[in-house]
Structure 1
Amino acid sequence: MTEAFIELDGVEKVFEVRRRSGRRLRRERCTVRAVDGISFAVPRGEMVGYIGPNGAGKSTTIKMLTGILTPSGGRLRVAGIDPSRERTRLARRIGVVFGQRTTLWWDLPLRDSYALVRRIYGIPEARYRANLERCVELLDLGALLGVPVRQLSLGQRMRGDIAAALLHDPEVLYLDEPTIGLDVVSKARVRRFLREVNSEQGTTVVLTTHDLTDIEQLCRRVMVIDHGRLVYDGGLDGLHAVGESERTLVVDLERELPPIAGVPGARTVRVDGPRQWLAFPAAASAAPIVSAVADRYPLVDLSLREPAIEDVIARMLESGEGRRSAVP
């Protein structure tokens, strides 16, 4: 285990909100625990998936890690710094991409937004040029540099935001849905870029996403938060095992046939004309199942569907087995 870069010990965040009580017009004040006693450590250079259903407390945790919000209790440190007390000092060491909330200037071309980022962080000219050229090449931003941010699509703006977050060589990068709105090619490009940033520069990455493929291709470690509590911390295989999640093989046959049977490790869960759906454990390999189906049935096409993270978490919580696991 290398040096811990991010440390949380019993961190809480409590909000007071007003809610309407029954049919009364009067609103009553109540307490909401967005984050409820979370503890974990992330070593320097690790890439971690931080996932959970909507409203679980993911964004609140990230906002405390960046210093935007102050914890209601517990201890939190990033690179030995208390984010809420030394936010400006920490800002030079972190990069943040908050989903659909851009950090770019809406009316300026992408190139001018990057020039402003350079001035804000005081990035030396040579370092800025090198980082910009690398980001532009790997994220395919060359044709977009002269385009005002407001005219970019969501996927284009997301790539632009990722580049902006990395121009000052941050030691840690917080990403909220970094592949949202991207096509298949762009998703692959962003994932490859993040792997390079992590492996070549040792950048610590905390990733929140609903795209399980992002987690599978980028993260060895996954943390699951639900109702403000950390309910799992370990490898992806362990998450699938605890949640009893399943992948689905969609099989298109040449003609309508009875449900596919006799394929070890898989079961037919749906039939619609010549199309059939086979479910099998997410931790298992699809290769022997595909081979068995291809040997026995007249195929037209095959496709593989990954389980939604929400489904994995729901099964895990319903099973009553959701709990913290030791990190391998």
Structure 2
Amino acid sequence: MGDEFIRLDEVEKVFDVRRKTGFMRRERREVRAVDSLSFSVRRGEMVGYIGPNGAGKSTTIKMLTGILTPSGGRVRVAGIDPSRERARLAQRMGVVFGQRTTLWWDLPLIDSYRLMRRMYRIEERRYEENLARCVELLELGDLLDAPVRQLSLGQRMRGDIAAALLHDPEVLYLDEPTIGLDVVSKVKVRGFLRDLNAEHGTTVLLTTHDLTDIEQLCRRVMVIDHGKLMYDGELEGLHATGGAAAERTLVVDLERELPPLDVEFARVVKVEGARQWLAFPAGQSAAPLVARIAERYPMVDLSVREPDIEAVIARMYARDTSVAP
């Protein structure tokens, strides 16, 4: 994991946008989707790349894959300029866009995989081994003969992840890979990605709005907003940077309606019948809090909700503004 696999130096991406301002009149303006962005990712690293909608995450990935050409700066993946040698780099990368599929809409899932085998010129034995592994771990056996258009969003996402891995890519770009998945499927996909990274050393760049994905998979997280890198480090550090906004929520279902619970290190933020919402610091384990509640109150069920990343980012901005001269 010591060598640098992905590197961006002062990368910019500017789009020309034209809008109608009157009869026969249009206004042209520039939109800077990515602004002086610099970071590097080591080979075999799994990194979370997060931020609100429109922050520049997908634009970054499209430049890393060669779909878009940077307006300025330098991009290298495995020493290759993606925009100049996209076909060469395609053999070494896999991409999953949560809102767009790489599968053929009207073909059975298995036919999409067969076509990809030919496109990537995958040796038959390697293809069969990789397909069998993906089918088993992502539970695709009953879906192989179904046309892609008949699959649910969650099923299609699992199908897209398998498609991205058939040729053993060195780097995998995942844009919202657990979107549309139920809780059980999310756990399986996360386990699959964790094993892939551990066993094959696949470099993974993961964008998601689900902080649980990041928490379960990534030791390092980068936050981007308005095209700028706002944070690069461990998730715990992000919570600390976010300050008060970085709180998790414990949702407790009690046997009966009770006054707001009184427990250390947490505050009740909402009560609705027998259900209560308690906020506690994101960097704190939920286990001691759950134990105290179970000892003192008649608890039926509970769940933990992660802090909203957009609230954390907003708090980061507020803090920056408050210390500005």
TM (normalized to structure 2)? Answer: 0.95
Provide the C-alpha distance between the structure 1 equivalents of 2:239 and 2:24, rounded to a whole number of angstroms. Answer: 46
Provide the C-alpha distance between the structure 1 equivalents of 2:293 and 2:42, rounded to a whole number of angstroms. Answer: 44
Deviation track 1:274-322 (CA, whole Å, cap 9, x = no partner) reads 2221110011011111122222222222222112222222222222289
Hey, what does 1:252 align to over in structure 2?
253
Asked whether 1:286 is paired with 2:286, we answer: yes
Hey, what does 1:10 align to over in structure 2?
10
Hey, what does 1:274 align to over in structure 2?
274
After TM superposition, list the pairs within 5 Å mapping 1:93-132 onto structure 2: 93-132=92-131
Residue 254 of structure 1: CA displacement? 2.6
Q: Which stretch has the larger CA shift, 186-195 or 42-51?
A: 186-195
Provide the C-alpha distance between the structure 2 equivalents of 1:25 and 1:294, rounded to a whole number of angstroms. Answer: 69
Deviation track 1:112-153 (CA, whole Å, cap 9, x = no partner) reads 110100000100011111111111111111111111111111
Provide the C-alpha distance between the structure 2 equivalents of 1:298 and 1:120, rounded to a whole number of angstroms. Answer: 59
2:188 alignment partner, SS class: helix
Provide the C-alpha distance between the structure 1 equivalents of 2:143 and 2:174, rounded to a whole number of angstroms. Answer: 22
1:320 alignment partner, SS class: helix
Provide the C-alpha distance between the structure 1 equivalents of 2:253 and 2:106, rounded to a whole number of angstroms. Answer: 48
Provide the C-alpha distance between the structure 2 equivalents of 1:256 and 1:163, rounded to a whole number of angstroms. Answer: 47
Q: What letter matches 2:251 in structure 1?
A: V
Hey, what does 2:87 align to over in structure 1?
88
Deviation track 1:180-223 (CA, whole Å, cap 9, x = no partner) reads 11111111111111111111111000000111111100110000
Hey, what does 2:36 align to over in structure 1?
37
Aligned positions, number: 320
TM (normalized to structure 1)? Answer: 0.94
After TM superposition, list the pairs within 5 Å mapping 1:157-306 onto structure 2: 157-244=156-243, 245-261=246-262, 263-306=263-306
Deviation track 1:7-35 (CA, whole Å, cap 9, x = no partner) reads 000000001101244x7772200011000
Sort the Cα spacing of 1:312 and 1:106 in 2 relative to 1 into closer, same or farther, 3 A: same
Residue 258 of structure 1: CA displacement? 2.0
Deviation track 1:238-272 (CA, whole Å, cap 9, x = no partner) reads 111111211111122233222222x2211111122
Contact 1:242 1:321 in 2 (8 A): no
Q: What letter matches 1:286 in structure 2?
A: A
Provide the C-alpha distance between the structure 2 equivalents of 1:316 and 1:267, rounded to a whole number of angstroms. Answer: 22
Q: What letter matches 2:227 in structure 1?
A: G
| Uncovered stretches (5+) of structure 1, i.e. residues with no partner | 323-328
Hey, what does 1:325 align to over in structure 2?
none
Q: Which stretch has the larger CA shift, 24-33 or 218-227?
A: 24-33
Q: What letter matches 1:62 in structure 2?
A: I
Provide the C-alpha distance between the structure 2 equivalents of 1:159 and 1:124, rounded to a whole number of angstroms. Answer: 23
RMSD: 1.5
Asked whether 1:315 is paired with 2:315, we answer: yes
Provide the C-alpha distance between the structure 1 equivalents of 2:127 and 2:228, rounded to a whole number of angstroms. Answer: 40
Provide the C-alpha distance between the structure 2 equivalents of 1:304 and 1:67, rounded to a whole number of angstroms. Answer: 39
1:146 alignment partner, SS class: coil
Provide the C-alpha distance between the structure 1 equivalents of 2:45 and 2:271, rounded to a whole number of angstroms. Answer: 43
Q: What letter matches 1:247 in structure 2?
A: R
| Uncovered stretches (5+) of structure 2, i.e. residues with no partner | none
Provide the C-alpha distance between the structure 2 equivalents of 1:184 and 1:301, rounded to a whole number of angstroms. Answer: 16
Deviation track 1:39-74 (CA, whole Å, cap 9, x = no partner) reads 000000000000000000000000000000000001
Q: What letter matches 1:283 in structure 2?
A: G
Provide the C-alpha distance between the structure 1 equivalents of 2:109 and 2:274, rounded to a whole number of angstroms. Answer: 49
The share of aligned pairs that are identical, in percent, is 77
Provide the C-alpha distance between the structure 2 equivalents of 1:256 and 1:203, rounded to a whole number of angstroms. Answer: 50
Provide the C-alpha distance between the structure 1 equivalents of 2:151 and 2:201, rounded to a whole number of angstroms. Answer: 30
Q: Which stretch has the larger CA shift, 216-225 or 311-320?
A: 311-320
